[in-house]
Amino acid sequence: MQSRSGSMLYLAGRALGVLFIALALTGTALAQQKNPIKIGFSMALTGALAGAGKGALIAMEIWRDDVNKKGGLLGRPVEFVYYDDATQPAKVPAIYSKLLDVDKVDLVVSSYGTNEIAPAMPIVMRKKLVFPSLFGLAVNDEFKYNRYFQIMPAGPDPKLDWSRGFFQLALEQKPRPQTVAIVAADAEFALNAAAGAHRNAVGMDLKIVYNKTYPPATTDFTPIVRAIQATNPDIVFIASYPPDSVGMVKAANEVGLKAKMFGGSMVGLQFAAIQKNLGPLLNGIVNYDFWVPEATLNFPGVKEFLAKYQEAAKGKGVDPYGHYLPPFAYAYLEILGQSVEATKGMDQAKLAAYMHKTTFSTVVGKVKFGKNGEWEKSRMLQVQFRDVQPDNLEQFAGPGKRVVIYPKEWKSGELVYPYKK
């Protein structure tokens, strides 16, 4: 028994050695070249957030190609070093420490989503790196890092700003709505949005008649919608993810929900495939968005970018139009690139200072960051779906179907209230 387990140990020891060497070799095998500027990040290319992650990557690659066509940054070509974090937070620390310590990237940007951004924060904070981030709700509220920059246009107080527009619109209507039902998926972003909605509603003296959450794996939303119906709310605020958003809209239609305003924070209603499938069921819904093809949002460069994206996205199994995340994925790299050129280098302190004080011009318009790295002024749009025809994807490529009704400077139409269902 002794000798057998002894030689087993020997075998195991050798195996251990081989495996550690394999790991080390992988690290050193990626030898570094001096010339290109390397930007490193992890991205969700598989798992739950992969649809958005892949779209973001396509947009980022377009930026890289655009910059390299013009001669690169500081005269040097730009290269990406990225790895798939599979929407698993546990993978993120290893990926970022590899990017920084082994691949020796010059600049880092974040992955997509709070779950994937947060694990990287301690690492970038320790190395005092500028960290442009892609769509995480109020991550910096916890860390209070002064080199964090969030491209999502939520605003200086993200959790409240998220739904403020929705409720402000409600208050302007006559007769003034009295009651609100709040329902959210049991997951990070939705709960934060719902909590903000709750505070907004209380602050505006609305009576909250329903305030519950549901597990993300719910199949049928009919019971939930009926329970909401039973409380007879004037306003229904929903914070949901794509499959739930579809389920809620369909169930609301089947049950004949008689609210005066419906929507709020439903992720998924911005995605082409879902818009096409829901069709006229969307009419009247007021929901958040970041960019829609309305005349008031025709920023310089955005149409050209979207054309390039839509070409590149063909056959990749991602959203064909790319209105939601891709323009912002392009914009935050624009900001990084412009800052590198302006400060003529990659000194992280100088970059951070420049990014804090400058108003940037990007494909999503003018961007200015506040002290906490969020947008100084919120640009959460509230859009209302109008005149949506059944089974027609092309109608969403242009204006008129998602009318911007808030904030005032980007308005392209008036709210229809109560929304008829």
Partner 1 sequence: MFSLDLLANAVTAGILLGGFYAAVAIGLAIAFGQLDIVNIAHPAFVIAGSYVAYILNARFGLDPVLVGVMVAPVFFAAGAVIYRIYYAAFERTGQESLSGLAFFFGMMFIIEVVLILVYGVDYRLVSADYIGMTIQLGYVGIPLRMLVPFGVAVALTVGVYLYLSRTFMGRAILAVAQDRLALQLMGADPVRVKQFAFGLAIATAAIAGSLLIIIGPVEPSVGRQYIGRVFAIVVLGGMGSIPGMFVAALLLGIVESLVATFMGPSWAPAVAFGVLLLTLALRPSGLFGRA
Partner 2 sequence: MKISPFWITVAVIVVAGLVFTGSTTNEYYFNAAYVILQAMMMAVAWNILGGYTGYVNFGTAGFFAVGAYTSIALDKAWDLPLPVLIFAGGAVCALIGLGVGYLTLRLKGVYFAIATLAMAIVFETLINNWSYVGGAKGAYILTPEKHLWFGSYIEMLFMVMLLLTIACVAISRKLNSSRLGRGLAAIRDDEVAAECAGVPTLRLKLISTTLMGAMMGAAGAPYPFFVTYVDPQSAFNLFVAVNAIAMPMIGGTSHWLGPVIGALLVGTMQEVITVTVSSELNVLIVGIMLVVFITLAPQGIVGLVQKYRLKRTP
| HEC secondary structure over the chain | CHHHHHHHHHHHHHHHHHHHHHHHHHHHHCCCCCCCEEEEEEECCCCCCHHHHHHHHHHHHHHHHHHHHCCCECCECEEEEEEECCCCHHHHHHHHHHHHHHCCCCEECCCECHHHHHHHHHHHHHCCCCEEEECCCCCHHHHCCCCEEECCCCCCCHHHHHHHHHHHHHHCCCCCCCEEEEEEECCHHHHHHHHHHHHHHHHCCCEEEEEEEECCCCCCCHHHHHHHHHCCCCEEEEEECHHHHHHHHHHHHHHCCCCCEEEEEECCCCCHHHHHHHHHHHCCCEEEECCCCCHHHCCCCHHHHHHHHHHHCCCCCCCCCCCCCHHHHHHHHHHHHHHHHHHCCCCHHHHHHHHHHCEEEECCEEEEECCCCCECCCCCEEEEECCCCCCCCHHHHCCCCEEEEECHHHCCCCCCCCCCC
Nearest one of 202, 178, 172 to 408, comparing CA atoms? 172
Within positions 39 to 98, which residues make up the interface with partner 1, using CB under 8 A? 46-48, 50-51, 54
Note if the bond before 223 is cis, omega within 30 degrees: no
Q: State which residue, 115 or 372, has the beta carbon closest to partner 1.
A: 115
Instruction: Estimate to the nearest angstrom the gap between the alpha carbon of 302 and the chain centroid.
Output: 18
Which entry of partner 2, partner 1, none binds 299, CB below 5 to 8 A by partner kind?
none
The mark string for 269-298 relative to partner 1 (x by CB under 8 A, - otherwise) is --x-xx--x---x-----------------
Using rule CB under 8 A, residue 8 touches partner 2? yes
Q: State which residue, 212 or 368, has the beta carbon closest to partner 1.
A: 212
| Tokens representing residue 225 in the block | 């919608």
Residue 50 Cβ vs partner 1, minimum distance, rounded to whole Å: 4
Residue 404 Cβ vs partner 1, minimum distance, rounded to whole Å: 25
Residue 234 Cβ vs partner 1, minimum distance, rounded to whole Å: 17
The mark string for 358-397 relative to partner 1 (x by CB under 8 A, - otherwise) is ---------------------------------x------
CA dist., res. 90 & res. 115, Å (int) = 10
- Token match 């640009």: residue? 379
Residue 107 Cβ vs partner 2, minimum distance, rounded to whole Å: 18
Using rule CB under 8 A, residue 102 touches partner 2? yes
Q: Which stretch binds partner 2 (CB under 8 A): 61-69, 116-124, 160-168, 234-242?
A: 116-124
Q: At what angle do helices 326-343 and 348-357 cross, to 10 degrees?
A: 120
CB-based contact 253:225 (threshold 8 Å): no
The mark string for 173-202 relative to partner 2 (x by CB under 8 A, - otherwise) is -------------xxx--xx--x-------
Contact pick of 71, 122, 203, 300 for partner 2 (by CB under 8 A): 122
Using rule CB under 8 A, residue 2 touches partner 2? yes
Within positions 38 to 97, which residues make up the interface with partner 2, using CB under 8 A? 45-46, 82-86, 88-95, 97
Residue 84 Cβ vs partner 1, minimum distance, rounded to whole Å: 11
Using rule CB under 8 A, residue 238 touches partner 1? no
Using rule CB under 8 A, residue 398 touches partner 1? no
Contact pick of 168, 213, 361, 395 for partner 2 (by CB under 8 A): 213
Using rule CB under 8 A, residue 319 touches partner 1? yes
Within positions 132 to 161, which residues make up the interface with partner 2, using CB under 8 A? 142-143
Within positions 309 to 368, which residues make up the interface with partner 2, using CB under 8 A? none
Q: State which residue, 75 or 215, has the beta carbon closest to partner 1.
A: 215
Nearest one of 113, 108, 112, 87 to 97, comparing CA atoms? 108
Using rule CB under 8 A, residue 115 touches partner 2? yes
CB-based contact 291:325 (threshold 8 Å): no
Residue 304 Cβ vs partner 2, minimum distance, rounded to whole Å: 28
Residue 159 Cβ vs partner 2, minimum distance, rounded to whole Å: 11
Within positions 202 to 221, which residues make up the interface with partner 1, using CB under 8 A? 212-215, 217-220
Binding interface with partner 1 (CB under 8 A) = 46-48, 50-51, 54, 186, 212-215, 217-220, 222-224, 226-227, 230-231, 242-243, 246-247, 250-251, 253-256, 268, 271, 273-274, 277, 281, 316-319, 391
Binding interface with partner 2 (CB under 8 A) = 1-2, 4-6, 8-9, 11-13, 15-16, 19, 22-24, 26-27, 45-46, 82-86, 88-95, 97-98, 100-102, 114-115, 118-119, 121-123, 126, 142-143, 186-188, 191-192, 195, 213, 215-216
